Structure formats: structure tokens, C-alpha cells
Amino acid sequence: MNDLPEDKVRSAWSAQTDREGGVDTASMVMAAERRAARIRRRDRGVYVSAVLIIPSWAAAFVYMPDLRLLSLSGLLAALWLTWHTYRRSGARLNSSSFDLPCAEFQRELIRHELDLYAAMPRWYLPPIVACQVLIIITLLTNPRFEKDGRFAVGLVMFVGTATTAIVVTHRRWRHEATELQREIAALEGGFES
């Protein structure tokens, strides 16, 4: 038999039995698989974005000397965000979590994701806001950008779009954190009944 983490998970989960008034293991397995799929999809989106954004900022740093400060900050922010997503993702649960029974594994996975969403305002918003401010300063001060009527409209649209995206993203994180807290409470309530 192979000792891969997936085999340990399957054997631990298949050894469980439904308890009177307890958690339904079949639905628990499905919920864990759905959550893992959502985590993988989110992480893939971040990594694909990083593959596009990081080389773009690096190229701007090398080939546009008048935009070096902006491109360096964008490059560092992209690396920072990608690293934090990789480090904090539920897809990177430690190997001891794989030996847990299904409901415990699900609870551990949800707690890990809750920590990710709860910490996002501290590790995501500051570099994003700083980059947006640097972009605005660069647009206003760099002679590369002509300051005419279209510039003003473009600047207002940029500020409005960036602000809206940050607010919507922040609200989505709060909503996701609240949902994760409800799931943890439901799991704990299912075991205690």
C-alpha cells in the first residue's frame, strides 16, 4: 500500500462511521472536497496572475528608467502577495493534518482558511494601497504622461476603479470569514449533539 497523504486521508475517513445525531461523514467528505477545490481554484488564479504581473513589472523596471520606483514597488508587492498566498493557503496544511479523521480535517482546513481571510487586511491591503498611491503620484509627476482633459478623466476613473475593487474585495473577505466561522460552529455543534 502506498503511504501518500491521500491514502492516509481516505483510510482515516473510510474508517469513520456515522453516529446518532453526529456528523454525516459522506456529506463531510463532499464538503471537504468542495472546499479543497475552491482553495485550489483561488490559488491557481493568484499564481496565474503572478506569472503575468511579475514579469511585466520586471520588464518595466528594466526598460523604463523613469518608472523604476513604481515598477520596483509593483514587483515587490506582487512577490509579497504571491508568497503570502502560497504560505497561508489551506492547500498547504501541514502533513499531520492528513491523519485526522474527516470532521477534524475539515475543521482544520476551515480554520486555516479563516486565518487566511482574517489576516488579509494586514498583509494584502497595505501593499495594494501603497502601489495605487505610487501609481497616482507617478501619473501626476512623470512628464511621460500628458496632462490634458483626457488625463483628468482617466485619473478619476483609475482612482474610482481601484477604490471600488479594494472595497469590494475587503467586503468579500469579511463575508467569507463569517461563512467560515459559521461552518466551524456547525461542525462543532454536530459533534456535541
The domain spans of the chain are 22-192
From CA 54, how far away is CA 57, in angstroms rounded? 5
What whole-number percentage of the chain has pLDDT above 70? 76
100 DSSP assignment: S
C-alpha 190, offset from chain centre? 28
pLDDT tens-digit series, residues 168-185: 989 998 998 998 898 888
- 3: pLDDT strictly greater than 60: no
- 94: pLDDT strictly greater than 70: no
pLDDT confidence of 106, banded at 50, 70, 90? confident
CB burial class (10 A; 0-12, 13-18, 19+) of residue 22?
A: middle
Q: What is the mean pLDDT of residues 125-140?
A: 91
pLDDT confidence of 193, banded at 50, 70, 90? very low
39 Cβ contact partners less than 8 Å away, ≥ 6 residues apart: 89, 90, 91, 109, 113
